[in-house]
């Protein structure tokens, strides 16, 4: 009997859904698909209700992806290969690096490589973010079987097909955000999220050509870019510059030493073919579009006239996601993976009870023997504590009181962490920088020269093309929820006379 599986790719304005049937021989057939406009539906919940009210999709097993920008990714190296030990140790390794408590996070990981040391790639997401999406599926009376990270299911199919060779990057371009998945010699090793999407090009066209956003979007989809080619190339180059910076940072970390050999594009934002042309020119490598239906030779049970591979690849990859053995995450499975089970507790309690009985018998026979055993145990414990302290703080050579010395170290770490989570307790520095970047249109010729934060305010020194742009920047930042007051303290022409330098004082909004 065939099994019905539904891949659900939720974007900014649309939800893409693909249903397949899987036979006993693991052969797939596309039996239904749709693109739901969430703006017309009114909300994500109502859009999902519309999907699952369709008799075609009802009764399917659902596989969902979560936005890569919601995750915290980290490479971790551990000195053992056992997957169970890795799962137990990973939360302890990651906890000091997280901006939120470990108890409020879901964790899953991939083993990138193993030799003497296991190279682990961990993905962490706040429970509240993951549960919000998963509960919407449950509220729609649908059965959720797996939750992966955006773009990873498609990356897994590329690996299975043997497509990534050399140093390869898959770029999934959405409406507002993009995801880069990096491969080396046919294996996954990194994923990053970027604040660039198809809307960036639409907004650039609208501003350059002085036309409404809907008209710019329609012209972009038809490929009518005349009059805005230069500006589109500039915003694309800024995005490619971020990709290049990622490649350089990975190279500095020792992940690879060769250059990029190939790139693949997918996502609705990649429907603008100019992105492919500009990317190929920028990196001087072949850039192709992914067509998962053709790659996997998956037949359609019905019509496919309106099918857009770039738009539907992610939903299809989710629907044909392998249940086990492939590269990928599953945050449905790991929701309780890092909590000890009751069975393990009973086993540990039984052994503890046996040990207590033995100690009691020894104490009854000879208090002196018990005291001697305790003394040895105490000395061994002290040695273990000292060894553990040396592993955690190898720079400390004089160990006097490891407990108090460790507390001092933890206090220093917390003080350092507080610098990254300041801003009046409202948001992190990275969040505010991201807000500034997204709030200012890509067409603004603007460069930040210096940025400083003193706890209550931000001092920003920048450079732009004219005084009018500086005023527009002030107005754009003044509408941010993070800022209470934005003022330009000084502005003047640069030495060359063709640029305007200005200093801006931003008072932070108080936490409510």
Same domain, 434 and 471: yes
- pLDDT classification of 427: cutoffs 50, 70, 90: low
Two tokens, residue 245 = 């910076």
Asked whether the beta carbons of 94 and 108 are under 8 A apart, the reply is no
Same domain, 445 and 474: yes
Residue 374 has pLDDT above 50, yes or no: yes
Residue 112 confidence (pLDDT): 85
Residue 350 confidence (pLDDT): 61
Average pLDDT rounded to a whole number, residues 93-122: 87
Asked whether the beta carbons of 167 and 184 are under 8 A apart, the reply is yes
pTM: 0.65
Residue 348 confidence (pLDDT): 55
Same domain, 440 and 387: no
| Calpha distance 255→249 (Å, rounded) | 9
| Calpha distance 57→244 (Å, rounded) | 41
Residue 334 confidence (pLDDT): 66
Same domain, 437 and 500: yes
Instruction: Pick left, alpha or beta for residue 424 (phi over 0 → left; psi -120 to 50 → alpha; otherwise beta).
Output: left
Residue 118 has pLDDT above 60, yes or no: yes
Residue 297 confidence (pLDDT): 92
Strands 287-289 and 446-453: unpaired
- Does residue 356 form part of some domain? yes
Same domain, 398 and 429: no
Average pLDDT rounded to a whole number, residues 271-296: 93
Residue 354 has pLDDT above 80, yes or no: no
Instruction: Pick left, alpha or beta for residue 162 (phi over 0 → left; psi -120 to 50 → alpha; otherwise beta).
Output: left
Structural domain boundaries enclosing 391: 342-406
- pLDDT classification of 345: cutoffs 50, 70, 90: very low
> Which among 123-132, 245-254, 298-307, 435-444 has the top mean pLDDT?
123-132
Per residue in 24-59, pLDDT (tens digit) is 777 899 999 999 999 888 888 898 889 988 888 888
Find residue 106's DSSP bridge partners. 125
| Calpha distance 481→432 (Å, rounded) | 10
154 φ/ψ angles, rounded to the nearest 5 degrees: -65, -40
Per residue in 464-488, pLDDT (tens digit) is 888 888 888 889 888 888 888 889 8
For the chain, the domain total comes to 2
- Does residue 101 form part of some domain? no
> Which among 338-352, 370-384, 474-488 has the top mean pLDDT?
474-488
**Higher pLDDT, residue 431 or 207:** 207
68 φ/ψ angles, rounded to the nearest 5 degrees: -60, -30
| CATH code where residue 427 lies | 3.30.1360.100
Residue 311 confidence (pLDDT): 94
- Does residue 487 form part of some domain? yes
**Higher pLDDT, residue 336 or 164:** 164
Residues contacting residue 191 through CB under 8 Å, at least 6 positions apart = 68, 73, 121, 149, 151, 152, 155, 179, 180, 181, 182
Same domain, 401 and 473: no
- pLDDT classification of 341: cutoffs 50, 70, 90: very low
Same domain, 442 and 477: yes
- Does residue 56 form part of some domain? no
Same domain, 463 and 497: yes
352 φ/ψ angles, rounded to the nearest 5 degrees: -65, -40
| Calpha distance 383→253 (Å, rounded) | 35
**Higher pLDDT, residue 344 or 493:** 493
- Does residue 462 form part of some domain? yes
Same domain, 382 and 445: no
Same domain, 430 and 468: yes
Two tokens, residue 405 = 């010395």
Residue 422 has pLDDT above 70, yes or no: no
Residue 342 has pLDDT above 90, yes or no: no
Question: For all residues of the chain together, what is the average pLDDT?
Answer: 84
Same domain, 389 and 436: no
Q: Which of 359, 381, 406 is the last residue of a domain?
A: 406
- Does residue 361 form part of some domain? yes
Same domain, 385 and 441: no
Residue 344 confidence (pLDDT): 44
- Does residue 206 form part of some domain? no
∠ CA 76-78-83 to the nearest 5 degrees? 100
**Higher pLDDT, residue 350 or 218:** 218
Residue 382 has pLDDT above 60, yes or no: yes
Q: Which of 379, 406, 433 is the last residue of a domain?
A: 406
Residue 320 confidence (pLDDT): 93
Two tokens, residue 215 = 């008209």
Residues contacting residue 335 through CB under 8 Å, at least 6 positions apart = 106, 127
- Does residue 255 form part of some domain? no
Two tokens, residue 6 = 């539904």
In 3D space, the residue among 278, 320, 240, 372 whose CA is nearest the CA of residue 9 turns out to be 320
| Calpha distance 415→421 (Å, rounded) | 10
């Amino acid at each position: 009997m065939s099994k019905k599986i539904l891949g659900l790719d939720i974007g900014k304005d649309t939800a893409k859904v693909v249903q397949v049937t899987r036979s006993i021989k693991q052969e797939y057939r596309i039996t239904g698909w749709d693109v739901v406009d969430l703006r017309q539906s009114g909300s994500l919940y109502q859009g999902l209700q519309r999907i699952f009210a369709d008799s075609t999709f009802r009764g399917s097993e659902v596989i969902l992806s979560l936005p890569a920008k919601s995750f915290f990714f980290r490479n971790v190296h551990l000195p053992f290969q056992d997957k169970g030990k890795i799962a137990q140790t990973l939360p302890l390794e990651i906890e000091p690096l997280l901006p939120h408590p470990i108890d409020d996070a879901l964790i899953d990981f991939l083993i990138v490589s193993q030799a003497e040391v296991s190279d682990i790639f961990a993905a962490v997401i706040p429970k509240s973010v993951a549960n919000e999406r998963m509960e919407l599926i449950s509220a729609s009376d649908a059965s959720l079987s797996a939750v992966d990270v955006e773009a990873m299911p498609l990356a897994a199919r590329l690996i299975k097909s043997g497509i990534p060779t050399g140093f390869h990057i898959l770029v999934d371009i959405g409406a507002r955000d993009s995801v880069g998945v990096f491969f080396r010699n046919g294996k996954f090793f990194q994923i990053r999220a970027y604040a660039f999407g198809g809307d960036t090009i639409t907004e650039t066209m609208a501003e350059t050509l002085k036309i409404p956003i809907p008209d710019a979007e329609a012209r972009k989809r038809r490929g009518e870019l005349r009059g805005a080619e230069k500006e589109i190339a500039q915003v694309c180059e800024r995005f490619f510059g971020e990709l290049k910076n990622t490649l350089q940072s990975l190279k500095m970390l020792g992940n690879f030493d060769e250059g990029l050999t190939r790139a693949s594009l997918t996502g609705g934002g990649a429907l603008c073919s100019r992105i492919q042309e500009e990317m190929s020119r920028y990196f001087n490598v072949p850039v192709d579009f992914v067509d998962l239906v053709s790659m996997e030779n998956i037949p359609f049970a019905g019509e496919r006239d309106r099918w857009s591979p770039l738009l539907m690849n992610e939903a299809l990859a989710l629907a044909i996601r392998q249940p086990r053995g492939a590269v990928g995450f599953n945050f449905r499975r790991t929701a309780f993976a890092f909590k000890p089970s009751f069975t393990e507790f009973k086993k540990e309690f039984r052994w503890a009870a046996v040990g207590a009985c033995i100690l009691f018998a020894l104490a009854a026979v000879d208090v002196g023997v018990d005291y001697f055993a305790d003394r040895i145990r105490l000395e061994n414990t002290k040695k273990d504590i000292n060894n553990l302290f040396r592993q955690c703080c190898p720079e400390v050579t004089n160990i006097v009181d490891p407990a108090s010395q460790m507390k001092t170290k933890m206090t220093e770490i917390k003080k350092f962490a507080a610098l990254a989570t300041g801003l009046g307790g409202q948001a992190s520095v990275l969040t505010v920088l991201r807000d500034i970047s997204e709030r200012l249109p890509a067409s603004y010729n603007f460069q930040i020269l210096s940025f400083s934060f003193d706890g209550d305010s931000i001092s920003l020194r920048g450079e732009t093309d004219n005084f009018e742009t500086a005023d527009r920047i002030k107005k754009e930042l003044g509408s941010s929820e993070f800022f209470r007051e934005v003022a330009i303290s000084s502005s003047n022409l640069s030495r060359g006379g063709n640029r305007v330098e200005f200093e801006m004082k931003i008072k932070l909004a108080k936490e409510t």
